[in-house]
Each structure stands twice: as C-alpha cells, then as structure tokens.
C-alpha cells in the first residue's frame, strides 16, 4: 500500500480498528515466515509411529566402488521419498581415476566426506582412523540395524571390538538363489552357438574351438574372438578365471581345501594359472585375442562388448551389465551373450556362483568428519525396514511393479521394458539397490517374496525374450543359472574378505604379487608361443622370492578362525 492510501485510511478508520488490522497483518506475517521455514523441513515417523518434523540436511558421500554419475540422492524418485521420511539428502561423489591416489589425498589432508563406501581401500581408511565406531549409535538409534545384522556382529567387529562399517551381504529371511547369472562366467555370443546348432560345451578347449571356427567361417565380419578386462582394480578379471576353471569359487588369490581349510596361492601354479594364460597366448597367436585388453579402460571395454563385435569374454554379470543392457535395448538377439560354466576338464565340477557366506570387508562407514552421525545412522536404520527395502529394490507399486491377488510381486512387460539405464538412474534403482545398508542379495520377505526382483520367478520368466526362451529350451533348462552347478557351502567364504593390516608382511605380499602379475601377465599373453615357457619361468622365479608360504599360513589361520566364528566357536 502506498503512502497516499495509508493517509486516506487514517482519516476514515477508527483508531481501535486500525490497531486490530495492524495486529492481524503482524500475525499473518509471522505465519508466512513459519510456513517458509517449513519448506525446509520434512515429516518423519519416530519409533512410536508419531509424526515429527526434522530439519532438512545434506551430507556428503564418497563411493569408491562404482563409476556412476555424481548426483544428490533427492534428485532421484527413491531418494526424494527417503528425504521426505528423514529430512536427509546425500551429495554423492563417485570415484574418478586411481583409487589409491584419491584415498591418499583424503588421508593426507585429514578431510573426509561424512560417509564413505571405501571398497578395496577399506584397509587404508581403517588404518588412518577415518571411521567412527558404530556400536553405541546402533544401540541407541538402530533397532532395524540390530535386527538385520545382529547374527553377524562377531564377523563385523574389528580387533578392538568395534564395528566401523555396515556390510552389504546380511541375509534376511530364507535364502533365494538367483535364477540368472550375476556372478562370474565365460560368456559367448549367441550367434556362435546358433551357427553350430547350440552345442553343449564344458571345457576351455571346446569354448575357444567354437570361437575359432566361427571366426574362420566369417572372416569378413570384423569380429574379435576374445577380450579381457584388466583396467585398474578390475585386473582381477584376468586373474580369477584360472581359479574358476579349476573348479573353485572366487576366494580371491587362494584356493581353499574343503576339508582341511588349507589355503593355497594359485598365481604360480602350472595346473591353473599357467594353463589359463597359455590358452590366451595361443588365441593371441592366432589373431583371436584383443591386444588392447591391456590398455583399454573400463568404459572402452564395455563399449567394445556393446558394439556386438566381441564373440567371447570372462566377467562377472554385475560388472558387465551396462553393456549387456545396451545390447538388449538394441534388440538383436544374435548379438546377446550366453553365460557358460567353463572348466579345464570334463570331470571338474564348476563353482562359479558365490557360496553362502558373508563379505565382511566391504560396506558403508561414517567418518570422523561427520558432525551429526546420529542422524546418518537413523537414515541407515530407516532404510532397513521391509517397506524401504521394497522401495529401493522394487520401486513403487503401480509404477515399477505390481502385486497379484496372492501377494506375489511381479512386473508387467511394460515395466520391465521401461527400465533402461536412464530410467534406473532417474528413479534411483541404480543408486539404491546396492552400496547401502540392505537386505543382502538372496534375502526374502516374511511373505515369501524375494527382496531382489532378479530372483523373483515371476519377474525372471516375464523378462525373458523369445530368443531367451528358445536358447534355454535348446539347452534343456528354465533359467540361465540352471546351467551352473550349485556352489558348495563354504563357511569362510569369501576368503578375500579377510582383514589385512596395512604395512604387514601379508599386505606387502598382496601388493608385490599384484605388481608382478600386472607386469608379467601381459607379456605371457602377448609373447611369441615359443617364448612362453621362458617368460613363465622368469615370472615364477620372481614370484617365489615373495613369502608365499607365510601368506598361505596367514590365510589358513584366518580362514579357520572365520569358520569357528561362523559356527559360534
């Protein structure tokens, strides 16, 4: 109101009435101010089910285990729902470049995000005292954390008795095996199998012979026989096949005897590592191996697979999924891949899947830089309700999944088709189905539904294309996982999750053996076949200068301790 208007009001309005109006304006202004404050608040339910208002806050989070796009959690549908429940948003940063350089910079500066998912750098962070103990926070603010992780506490505790991070593999309910292959396998393009009448192949020689024969028949198609992933920490994709081909699951750098629990390093063994690398050497000599495997980064590797020009590779389903999804969206069934449980010899029982176990050296932690760890642990605890595990895995009923009259979760064909990488990112499924406190893969709800859609029979069957169903029929199975043997129970599994102290002889062995493999494996694969044995002997000589026996002794002792803890001894 301008000054002239106010002057007129003074003449015509009684004094008392003017005071009353001014009071009302004041009250309205206060109300508006209060409303503006509420814009920055969210409503949540406390443990008694009563609504309470909480201040919105944004925490920082660094994830060293995935190469996703940096994003705020509340920019996704799922993250926004969780923010509405808790008032918490996370500004997520993902690893770019070398993990050791990134982590070393953080530790040297003693400046950390509020939350860290350290992945393979977990020991460096622990040794630097980066993470705060969670024991008291869980006792005070974590009833759901106690419910989900309670039976794993002894495996989660460090030597000082403290829990510093929440792992991702706690099984809730009855275990549901995955019907699809999200772990390791030798993958072969379907057109190769189609060309030769869908042969049943089991051995490494049969696998490569098929690829070789296909290339010989299609010389003008510019295809590559086999490719390997070796970039950065993913170098293990070149190392691990020797273990699987010999009939062992992924226990890291050792094979573990099922009866004695004795651990044996296989990096220098002729019947596994040498045999595997020599086969790659033969393929390279025949022009069937991609020499760029030793210089390509992860994105280049995925791009080559998604181009449809690669006939075969070894990898883990979860790691190669972006490339496989792009091929599925392209729609040419011949260019898709079939996972195969390949072994050295016919009499070897394949062991490609993860054995029932508990990975206790990967997880999510709160750092010493966090100013409000209680609010963070409350967010974690809130994630661990059935409702939010359904949200972070299945999404929202009516949008990304449905429930039938029997209470079974399923997805329509349209809902399956909409889940492109772009959709999964914007909705939040890509960000929330892993890397957070969670019901581990293979968990189930009290009503029998699988927590993971990929393990729900109704989803798996509907998600199969005509090409999938034809391929499965050709091999006499209903799901791709049925091609693989069930993995035997190993109470220590996985051995690679054993905690190793930085600077210890064991850690030094790990580092130096890795350096030797990175130096010699490319030479072994790319050398002239006539020089292979010479290079191998040189490598083994250098490798055995390391304390192999000391490492095996340590791993055996730790595995036996883990077995005792698993059995409550």
Question: What is the model's pLDDT at position 6?
Answer: 32
How far from each other are the two terminal CA atoms of the chain, in whole angstroms? 81
Band the pLDDT of 357: cuts 50, 70, 90: low
> Residue 212 has what DSSP assignment?
H
What digits encode the pLDDT tens for the residues 249-308?
A: 999 999 999 999 999 999 999 999 999 999 999 999 999 999 999 999 999 999 999 999
Q: How far from the centroid of its chain's Cα atoms is residue 299's Cα?
A: 17
Which residues contact residue 304 at a Cβ distance below 8 angstroms, ignoring those fewer than 6 apart?
224, 227, 290, 296, 310
> Looking at per-residue confidence, does 569 or 138 come out higher?
138
The Cβ of residue 141 has, within 10 Å, a number of other Cβ atoms equal to 21
Q: Rounded CA gap, 301 and 291, in Å? A: 12
Question: What is the model's pLDDT at position 4?
Answer: 31
Question: What is the model's pLDDT at position 16?
Answer: 38
> Looking at per-residue confidence, does 531 or 461 come out higher?
531
Does the pLDDT at position 239 exceed 80? yes
The reply to whether domains 58-173+359-445 and 184-352+464-566 share a CATH topology is: yes
Helices within 450-566 (DSSP H only): 457-463, 466-474, 505-526, 532-543, 548-566
As a dihedral over the C-alpha atoms of residue 490, residue 495, residue 497, residue 503, rounded to 10 degrees, the angle is 160
What digits encode the pLDDT tens for the residues 424-462?
A: 999 999 999 999 999 998 899 999 999 999 889 888 888
Does the pLDDT at position 567 exceed 80? no
Per DSSP bridges, beta strands 365-366 and 115-117 are antiparallel
Question: What is the model's pLDDT at position 338?
Answer: 96
Question: What is the model's pLDDT at position 49?
Answer: 43
Does the pLDDT at position 53 exceed 50? no
Band the pLDDT of 491: cuts 50, 70, 90: confident
CA dihedral over 489, 494, 499, 504, signed as positive or negative: positive
- Which H or E element spans position 348? none
Q: Rounded CA gap, 439 and 446, in Å? A: 12
* Nearest Cα to Cα of residue 106 among 91, 88, 128: 128
Q: Rounded CA gap, 363 and 163, in Å? A: 11
Question: What is the model's pLDDT at position 93?
Answer: 97
Does the pLDDT at position 136 exceed 90? yes
Band the pLDDT of 30: cuts 50, 70, 90: very low
Q: Rounded CA gap, 245 and 15, in Å? A: 95
Tell me which CATH code domain 184-352+464-566 carries: 3.40.190.10
Mean pLDDT to the nearest integer, 143-163:
92
Return the exposure string of 357-384: e unless at least 16 CB atoms fall within 10 Å of the residue's CB, then b.
Answer: bbbbbbbbbbbebbeebebbbbbbbbbb
Query: Helix (H, G, I), strand (E, B), or coil: what is residue 89?
Result: strand
Mean pLDDT to the nearest integer, 100-110:
93
One DSSP character per residue, 116-145 reads: EE-GGGHHHHHHTT-BPP-HHHHHHH-HHH
Query: Helix (H, G, I), strand (E, B), or coil: what is residue 83?
Result: helix
* Nearest Cα to Cα of residue 119 among 7, 232, 28, 217: 232
Class of domain 58-173+359-445: alpha beta
> Looking at per-residue confidence, does 424 or 41 come out higher?
424
Q: Rounded CA gap, 312 and 215, in Å? A: 11
Question: What is the model's pLDDT at position 279?
Answer: 98
Question: What is the model's pLDDT at position 37?
Answer: 37
Length of the chain (residues): 569
Strand order across the beta sheet in which 310-316 lies:
224-227, 310-316, 184-189, 337-340
Q: Three-state SS across 402-456?
A: EECCCCCEECCHHHHHHCCHHHHHHHCHHHHCCCCCCCCCCCECCCCCECCHHHC
* Nearest Cα to Cα of residue 529 among 320, 278, 217, 247: 278
Question: What is the model's pLDDT at position 19?
Answer: 39
Q: What is the mean pLDDT of the chain?
A: 88
Band the pLDDT of 356: cuts 50, 70, 90: low
One DSSP character per residue, 163-182 reads: ---B-S----SS----SS--
Question: What is the model's pLDDT at position 489?
Answer: 83
> Looking at per-residue confidence, does 126 or 6 come out higher?
126
Q: Rounded CA gap, 480 and 190, in Å? A: 13
Per DSSP bridges, beta strands 365-366 and 263-265 are unpaired
Sequence spans of domains, the chain = 58-173+359-445, 184-352+464-566
Question: What is the model's pLDDT at position 10?
Answer: 31
CA-only gyration radius of the chain, Å: 28
Question: What is the model's pLDDT at position 8?
Answer: 31
> Looking at per-residue confidence, does 218 or 329 come out higher?
218
Q: Rounded CA gap, 475 and 468, in Å? A: 11
């Amino acid at each position: 109101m301008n000054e002239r208007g106010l002057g007129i009001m003074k003449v015509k309005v009684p004094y008392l009435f003017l005071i009353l109006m001014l009071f009302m304006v004041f009250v309205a202004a206060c109300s508006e101010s209060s409303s503006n404050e509420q814009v920055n608040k969210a409503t949540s339910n406390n443990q008694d089910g009563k609504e309470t208002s909480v201040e919105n806050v944004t925490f920082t989070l660094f994830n060293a285990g995935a190469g996703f796009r940096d994003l705020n959690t509340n920019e996704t549908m799922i993250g926004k729902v969780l923010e509405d429940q808790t008032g918490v948003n996370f500004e997520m940063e993902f690893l770019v470049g070398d993990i050791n350089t990134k982590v070393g910079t953080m530790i040297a500066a003693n400046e950390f995000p509020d939350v860290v998912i350290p992945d393979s750098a977990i020991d460096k962070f622990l040794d630097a005292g980066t993470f705060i103990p969670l024991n008291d926070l869980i006792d005070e603010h974590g009833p759901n954390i106690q419910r989900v992780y309670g039976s794993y506490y002894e495996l989660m505790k460090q030597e000082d008795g403290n829990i510093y991070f929440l792992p991702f593999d706690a099984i809730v309910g009855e275990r549901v095996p995955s019907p699809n292959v999200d772990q390791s396998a030798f993958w072969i393009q379907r057109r190769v199998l189609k060309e030769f009448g869908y042969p049943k192949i089991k051995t490494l020689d049969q696998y490569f012979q098929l690829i070789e024969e296909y290339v010989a028949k299609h010389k003008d198609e510019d295809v590559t026989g086999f490719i390997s992933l070796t970039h950065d920490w993913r170098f293990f994709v070149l190392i691990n096949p020797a273990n699987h081909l010999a009939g062992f699951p992924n226990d890291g750098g050792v094979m573990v005897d099922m009866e004695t629990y004795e651990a044996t390093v296989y990096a220098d063994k002729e019947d596994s590592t040498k045999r595997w690398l020599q086969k790659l050497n033969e393929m390279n000599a025949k022009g069937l191996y991609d020499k760029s495997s030793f210089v390509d980064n992860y994105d280049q590797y995925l791009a080559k697979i998604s181009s449809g020009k690669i006939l075969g590779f070894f990898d883990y389903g979860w790691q190669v999924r972006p490339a496989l999804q792009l091929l599925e969206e392209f729609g040419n069934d011949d260019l898709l891949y079939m996972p195969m449980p390949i072994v050295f010899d016919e009499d070897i029982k394949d062991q490609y899947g993860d054995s029932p176990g508990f990975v206790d050296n990967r997880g999510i932690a709160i750092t010493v830089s966090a100013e409000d760890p209680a609010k963070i642990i409350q967010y974690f605890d809130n994630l661990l309700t059935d409702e939010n595990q359904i949200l972070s895995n299945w999404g929202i009923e009516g949008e990304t999944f449905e429930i039938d009259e029997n209470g079974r979760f399923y997805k329509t064909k349209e809902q399956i088709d909409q889940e492109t990488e772009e959709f999964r990112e914007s909705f939040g499924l890509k960000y929330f189905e892993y890397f957070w406190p969670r019901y581990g893969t293979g968990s189930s709800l009290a009503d029998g539904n699988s927590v993971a859609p990929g393990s729900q029979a109704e989803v798996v069957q509907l998600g199969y294309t005509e090409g999938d169903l034809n391929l499965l029929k050709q091999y006499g199975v209903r799901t791709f996982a049925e091609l693989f043997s069930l993995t035997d129970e190993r109470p220590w599994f996985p051995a690679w999750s054993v905690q190793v102290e930085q600077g210890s002889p064991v850690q030094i062995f790990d580092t130096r053996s890795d350096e030797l493999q990175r130096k010699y494996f490319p030479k072994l694969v790319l050398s002239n076949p006539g020089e292979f044995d010479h290079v191998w002997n040189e490598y083994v000589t250098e490798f055995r200068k390391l304390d192999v026996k000391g490492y095996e002794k340590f791993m055996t002792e730790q595995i036996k301790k883990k077995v005792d803890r698993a059995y409550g001894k």
